[in-house]
Structure 1
Amino acid sequence: MTDQQPPHTPRSLIVTFYGAYGRGSTGTPAGPVPIAALIRLLGSVGVDAPSVRSAVSRLKRRGLLVSGRTASGAAGYGLSDAARQLLEDGDRRIYGRPSARSGQGWLLAVFSVPEEERHKRHLLRSRLARLGFGTAAPGVWIAPAHVHDETRHTLERLGLSGYVDLFRGSHLGFEPTVESVARWWDLEALAKQHRAFLETHEPVLRRWSRRRPVPAEAAYRDYLLALDSWRRLPYADPGLPAALLPPDWPGGRASRVFAALHGRLRDAGEEFVAPVL
């Protein structure tokens, strides 16, 4: 049986598009993206117009997109301040892929939520899990210390900081840290996610390594799909110290494959995006 990656959803692909091309760069403007351009660009990765409009409406309700007008007066959607902060926090993980070193220590999140606000307890747990925290004990979550700034920004943005205390510390025992890490995180589940990414996108990299020149629309399509798959992984796996991981850990290889696809395809894909915008 092969590992399977989660399907690409219209909402996820739109967020991925804004992260890659919708914040402004040399070839693309920083203002609102016209809805017609979004429909054209998402159509290249198989999303139909009604699905684009529906996903944009949901992202607007969530406060991630805001409506506006382009320089030509066309209706469009840009990123909210909160969405920009979210994407900027994600850049370091997604593109930089930092890994902890054994001596850097750990970040502990200890929380307590009143019973009458238990919906916030569920939100807090899900957000800590999405930030890559493992569970050390009930109400005590742990992550490598380098995720501190992003954790703080996320909890403040969601209005959850009042329920949480954050600590930095070292693991002093009693069991070896490598055994504790295997208990705090489901390493086999994380490894399966890395292997699924490799199974889907390593063949794509091999094809592009042989291909000259780089067709802009094909580069854009393959890059957006790879980024949409990859950007979940540095959150599920927060970059644990290599010394605490199994010797055959596939995370490093998956990271190198994405970095190679990014270097090969991102700017080539912008040659397709810029004229559409």
Structure 2
Amino acid sequence: MSASAGNETSPSSTPQELVLDLLGLHVLGRAQPRQTAPPPVATQVFLAVLGAVGLSDSATRTTLNRMVARGLLHRHRQGRTSAFQPTENAAAMLRRGRARMFSPAPFDHPGDVWTILNCPIPETLRNVRYQIQARLSWAGFGTLQANLWVAPGRIDAEELLDDIFPTDALGLVQAFHGTPTPPSSPEQLVHKAWDLEALRAEHHRFLARWETADAQPADALPQLLLLIDDWGRLLRTDPGLPTAYLDTDWPAERSTRTFQRLEARLGPLADERLQHLTHPRADN
């Protein structure tokens, strides 16, 4: 791998995101979902893989413990050590957006459909306001005005929010699928709800790190983990806005080609390494 994409986490990476990225590869696989539930991941696997991307053993152990306390991981005892698997909430988090991550056209949406969401946050949910806003941003929503969000494509708002909102509060949310009509201007909507220069900058950061990178077999698993971490962050930033309202040199297509080239080369080797780490007896 080129020096620009060495075995180092991005400044915006968090240990929890890297743990979830690794579990996503183990539990869900890459483009094709796994047919059987894999075993829990032993602590030593996390230490080996995350250590290769620059996380210390103590940081990894602390992150695993915190994720258990937050209800994201189940801990299993395996002799004198522990193993971890995602809770149902964490597994749902991993499944959301998985199809888009490995889509051949992740920035495209079928048809000219938008999702409009009126999402007031009652006082009883003030303590999870940030979580709600992060979830909506992650799903591709931009803010038009207070409590009013818009996203390209057809998004299931109930599935997106029902694990945060209690049933009585979920009824306050109003969601619509449709298309803008005059006097609404889709172009003005795009420019109001999203900072296009910030989105472009995220693409350029991704490309600066990965566009000229070469896949190295020995580093396939840690490099794929870093690639997926950066790619997932880019997808959470750019929801896939209609190209008709973007500049002709919009970099989404370059970013997609870059990810798909490297994922195709690193993926099979990373799968083999992960299989070896999580099923060590299979090779004895």
| TM-score between both structures, scaled by the size of structure 2 | 0.83
Q: Distance in 2 between matches of 1:262 and 1:126?
A: 27
Aligned to 1:158: 164
Aligned to 1:211: none
Contact kept in structure 2, 1:190 and 1:237, CA below 8 Å: yes
Amino acid at match of 1:77: F
Aligned to 1:9: 14
Contact kept in structure 1, 2:141 and 2:149, CA below 8 Å: yes
Structure 2: 5+ residue stretches without partners: 1-9, 279-284
Aligned to 1:44: 52
- Give structure 1 regions of 4+ aligned residues with deviation exceeding 6 angstroms: none
Q: Secondary structure in 2 aligned to 1:58? A: helix
State whether structure 2 residue 156 is matched by structure 1 residue 112. no
Aligned to 1:227: 228
Contact kept in structure 2, 1:132 and 1:235, CA below 8 Å: yes
State whether structure 2 residue 258 is matched by structure 1 residue 257. yes
Q: Distance in 2 between matches of 1:29 and 1:272?
A: 18
Q: Secondary structure in 1 aligned to 2:132? A: helix
Q: Secondary structure in 1 aligned to 2:162? A: helix
Contact kept in structure 1, 2:115 and 2:176, CA below 8 Å: yes
Amino acid at match of 1:111: C
State whether structure 2 residue 28 is matched by structure 1 residue 19. no
Q: Distance in 2 between matches of 1:123 and 1:16?
A: 19
State whether structure 2 residue 108 is matched by structure 1 residue 99. yes
| TM-score between both structures, scaled by the size of structure 1 | 0.85
Deviation at 1:145, TM superposition (A): 2.6
Contact kept in structure 2, 1:65 and 1:78, CA below 8 Å: yes
Deviation at 1:93, TM superposition (A): 1.9
RMSD: 2.4
Q: Distance in 1 between matches of 2:43 and 2:255?
A: 34
Q: Secondary structure in 2 aligned to 1:231? A: helix
Q: Deviations over 1:172-228 (max 9, x none)?
A: 132531122111111110110011000001121xx23xxxxx52x311122111111
Aligned to 2:204: 195
Contact kept in structure 2, 1:131 and 1:236, CA below 8 Å: no
Deviation at 1:113, TM superposition (A): 2.7
Q: Distance in 1 between matches of 2:247 and 2:70?
A: 39
Q: Write the mapping of 1:68-147 to structure 2, written as runs, cut at 5 A.
A: 68-69=76-77, 75-96=82-103, 97-101=106-110, 103-115=111-123, 117-146=125-154
- Decide which structure has greater helix share: 1
Q: Secondary structure in 1 aligned to 2:108? A: coil
State whether structure 2 residue 36 is matched by structure 1 residue 35. no
Contact kept in structure 2, 1:66 and 1:80, CA below 8 Å: yes
Q: CA distance change for structure 1 residues 32 and 145 in 2, over 3 Å: closer, same or farther?
A: same
Q: Secondary structure in 1 aligned to 2:96? A: helix
Structure 1: 5+ residue stretches without partners: 209-213
